[in-house]
Structure 1
Amino acid sequence: HIEQGRLILLSILGSGAYGVVYLAYDCLLSTRSTPAYFAVKCLIREGVTPREKKFQDRELALHQTSSDHPNIVTVHRILEEDGMFFVVLDYCPDGDMFSLLTDRRYHGDETLIKSVFLQILDAVEYLHSKGIYHRDLKPENILCADDGRHVLLADFGLATNERRSSDVGCGSSFYISPECINPYFSSLVADGKYPTAQNDIWSLGVILINLVCSRNPWRVACPTDDTFRLYSKRNGLLGDILPISSELNDLLKRIFSLNPSHRISLKELRDSVVKMRQFGMSEKDLAKANPI
């Protein structure tokens, strides 16, 4: 029990580098017919290094600043008890987008793919308008409600308000941009720092492929990855190896520009997605496609 018995921690929903997330029952808001549940992130404060405390404080501050958006998980309040922070968050019963992708929830549903991706874009645009860059955009950090139709961005553990960062390798390997990986592609970043907004846009491109194809384009965007190495030499490659429309292939070329300064902007990306007629290959095109 925490908050003088108001919240009962029931079970563990997940855990990460800096804390554990619990499912909590709210005794004050619950009724017999309508129980009220929240997710509570527990952050240990005692015994952590000053550097870890700084990261925790940054995460809480940036998340609180942006949690009033409908597609960002709400921070309801932060409690401090027994040398720990308890962050009371929205509970999303459908879990994260990764689990729904595994169940092929979005597969072939063009209308749902567009709706969900635009929600993610709206959340990221809102963050960027506030000078916040997520740096860990991936399906595991996107929570779902209403059977996957409503999505909310979560986990601000790596978020920053730095427009350029020297934290190379920050994020998840499938989703980070090539200029964020050290030492590969360092020539694209003259001052040793990569632009964090463009790094987020790269991650969004991988998420869009996840939604359309239920797979990743590559394991990591560096020359040691065979698929990415081929893509870096011929940027039309994804249209040959993935069941995507020519429209989407053209858009991905702009998202996955190797030079971050040439990468598509969020506004251009949103406009392109709104106008997109077809994300995946049509049945006719699939029938004609040559297996690779």
Structure 2
Amino acid sequence: MAAFESWKALSLARTRSRTSSISSAKAEALPPPVLPSPTTPRRNKGYPGLRSTPSSRPGTSDGQTLGADHSRTRSVSDYVPDPVAVPKPRNIAVSTAGAPFEITESPTSMHREEYLGPQRRLSKSVARPLTPPQPTIQIERSHEDEPAAKRPKLEIFNARSISTGEPRSYEAIRILGQGTFSKVYLAVRQVDNDRKDNVDYMQDSINMAGVRARSRRLVAVKVVEHGPAGGADAERIEVGLKREVDLLKSIQHPSLVHLKAFGNDDNARALLVMNYCPGGDLFEVASKHHEVLTPSLVRRVFSELVSAVRYLHQKYIVHRDIKLENVLLNIPVRVHSDVSNWQSLDRAVVTLTDLGLSRRIPEPPESPLLTTRCGSEDYAAPEILMGQPYDGRQTDAWALGVLLYALMEGRLPFDPLPGARGDPAVLRARTPHRIARCEWAWYKYGDEDGEWDPVKGADFEGAHECVAGLLKRNTRRRPLAEIRELPWVKDGIQVDGGLRWVEEEL
């Protein structure tokens, strides 16, 4: 591909160097695999500090960050766990600075994976310089009050359309986010005078009509620097960039990130022009606006993701980093009231992004098993944590189960019990062991034993079956082909002729 080769040549011609390391931002050293102890008895011991006298559950509302008992799913374990009573959350005083350490309750809110990268990232030291952390786009924000220092100078990006090969120009509006060797800009496509409109692209949309109008010209432009000249980082960026661009060029699905154009500039920077998703990421919504995640919307989101991931798998591509942060909403929360029926909306609601860890797997009869331990710990399947060869399609399915649970419960399935007392750092350190043993339970929609309560979860009955089928050991985990045929998923999208892209580019 000519544009990529041109970018490579420009990169090699430059001699400036940088001191940053790829591995420090995107690929940290792995902790030792979680291995089962040879002396572990068949009956597991309860986690210290997690047991309490039985008590009634605190009331939960959709807007409340959830947390409480988190007992175990026993369907796939090779032991019978002890019963765990539901602890009643108590108010515990927080000691002041300099005071002796006191027992505290575990945190109840979800955490963004990118913040815990150095301690919790599982990716091996392999090339992953491409996709920066997904920009944290605020749900409600006025750009008129944005400090001038944060607004980029007027910059024009030139690239060629992937579909037609024609040259296109994009004017930067503001920076959305940045990584070690890349930045992501919100930009607007420049058009001829006879095709201009009266839309103010500096302002956010306040209704669906505005979302659709802006999506015709707004894009996200990822600008990838060349890295230190002649160094290992430069080689990683080059290899990773080519792999990601090749993957992006080969996929076309309404719920997958869409590469619109690609090019390079005179500063040896590669330009990837992709669709812009104004609604922010699912983590932002699940942690701060959980009340908007109605059963109907959750059903639609999960159905789209199953369709998108199955599409990748049918092309022998595995994602390997599915998580809330990598799923972007195409429709801002403020506009959700304009949607009367999520199941019949004809345009994609979400976009699965970040193919930085994606790779192709061999087609049959070759083995599809992979060995690189990568991804994010909270979404990693047991076989990855235990250092076993794994089928990326099965681990993608597991991650979708974690994501669906989080959308329903407002917490991650293997986090410490929200009411548990103890050092939060110690409780968090046990997360890999709970994942390896497939120990999880329902809280908001569970009974006092953590089992599914069909009365509390009446609106999510089909979703319960999906989670239960996916959060199992790989030998019993349901494939996405089966999950896709479940009525709750199959009827989650009811659009004649299939989904359309959210944008209709000029």
Common fold by TM > 0.5? yes
Alignment match, 2:253: 69
How many angstroms does 1:46 deviate by?
4.7
In structure 1, C-alpha distance between the alignment counterparts of 2:471 and 2:412, rounded to whole Å:
13
- Do 1:134 and 1:158's aligned partners in 2 also have CA atoms closer than 8 Å? yes
When residues 248 and 76 of structure 1 are mapped into structure 2, their CA distance, relative to the original with a 3 A threshold, is closer
Deviation at 1:219, TM superposition (A): 4.3
Q: After superposition, where does 1:101-116 map in structure 2 within 5 Å?
A: 101-105=286-290, 109-116=294-301
Separation in structure 2 between the aligned mates of residue 179 and residue 237 of structure 1, nearest angstrom: 20
- 1:205–1:17 Cα change, 3 Å: farther
Per the alignment, in what secondary structure is the counterpart of residue 186 of structure 2? strand
Verify: 1:217 aligned to 2:423, yes or no: no
1:117-196 correspondence to structure 2 within 5 Å: 117-147=302-332, 150-162=349-361, 163-168=368-373, 170-181=374-385, 184=386, 186=387, 189=388, 193-196=389-392
Decide which of 271, 274, 298 is 1:89's aligned counterpart. Answer: 274
Q: Number of residue pairs matched?
A: 264
Q: Which residue type is aligned with residue 136 of structure 1? A: D
Aligned partner (choices 203, 206, 218) of residue 399 of structure 2: 203
The one-letter amino acid paired with 2:264 is: E
Deviation track 1:11-64 (CA, whole Å, cap 9, x = no partner) reads 221223552211112222772413421100111225343233212211111122
Q: TM-score, normalised by structure 2?
A: 0.47
Q: CA deviation at 1:242?
A: 8.0
Letter of the 1:72 partner, please give it. Answer: L
| Cα separation, 1, equivalents of 2:403 and 2:283 | 10
**Shift, 1:6, TM fit:** 2.6
Residue in 1 aligned with 2:471? 256
What secondary structure is seen at the aligned counterpart in 1 of 2:271?
Answer: strand
Partner of 1:31: 196
Cα separation, 2, equivalents of 1:53 and 1:257: 38
SS of 1:101's equivalent in the other structure is helix
CA distance 1:137–1:18, shift in 2 (3 Å)? farther
Q: Assess, with a 3 A threshold, how the Cα gap between structure 1 residues 276 and 228 changes in structure 2: closer, same or farther.
A: farther
Could you give the per-residue CA deviations for residues 91-122 of structure 1, whole angstroms, max 9, x where no partner exists?
11111111121233565611111111101111
Gaps of 5+ in 2: 1-155, 160-167, 202-216, 334-341, 343-348, 362-367, 417-426, 492-506
Report deviation, 1:179: 1.3
Change (3 A) 1:32 1:243: farther
**Whose Rg is larger?**
2
CA contact (8 A) 1:213 1:243 kept: no
The CA deviation at 1:138 is 0.9
Q: 1:86 is paired with a residue of what secondary structure? A: strand
Q: TM-score, normalised by structure 1?
A: 0.79
Per-residue displacement from partner, 1:217-270 (whole Å, max 9, x unpaired)?
Answer: 1249xx985466467667673454487647655543321222x23211101112
**Cα deviation 1:174-217 (Å, max 9, x = unaligned):** 11112112xx3x4xx3xxx2111111001000110121111101
2:245 corresponding residue in structure 1 = 60
Tell me, yes or no, if the aligned pair for 2:181 and 2:227 is still in contact at 8 Å. no
- Secondary structure of the residue that 1:262 maps to in structure 2? coil
**1:15 counterpart = 2:220:** no
Q: Superposition pairs for residues 234-245 of structure 1, below 5 Å?
A: 237-238=441-442, 239=446, 240-241=449-450, 245=457
CA distance in 2, matches of 1:176, 1:261: 16
d(CA) in 2 for partners of 1:16, 1:134? 20
Find the aligned partners of 2:396 and 2:299 in 1 and give their Cα distance: 18
Letter of the aligned partner of 2:198 in structure 1? S
TM-superposed CA distance for 1:133, in Å, is 0.5
Q: Find the counterpart in structure 2 of residue 283 from structure 1.
A: none
CA contact (8 A) 2:484 2:490 kept: no
* 1:271 alignment partner in structure 2: 485
Change (3 A) 1:160 1:269: same
- Give the 3 Å change call, closer, same or farther, for CA 261–56 of structure 1 in structure 2: farther
Corresponding residue number in structure 1 for 2:222 = 41
Identity fraction in percent:
27
Q: Please say if 1:2 is aligned against 2:157.
A: yes
The change in CA–CA distance for 1:135 and 1:16 in structure 2 (over 3 A counts) is farther
Residues 142-163 of structure 1: CA distance to partner in whole angstroms, max 9, x if unpaired? 1112236610111111111133
Q: What is the DSSP-based 3-state SS (H/G/I as helix, E as strand, rest coil) of the residue aligned with 1:206?
A: helix
Aligned match for 2:235, one of 50, 55, 58: 50
Question: 1: CA distance between counterparts of 2:490 and 2:255?
Answer: 22
Larger displacement relative to structure 2 (34-43 or 133-142): 34-43
Worse-superposed segment, 71-80 or 229-238 = 229-238
The secondary structure found in structure 2 opposite 1:38 is strand
* Cα 1:151/1:265, change in 2 over 3 Å: same
SS in 2 for 1:9: strand
Contact 2:414 2:431 in 1 (8 A): yes
Residue aligned with 1:261, SS: coil
AA paired with 1:104?
H
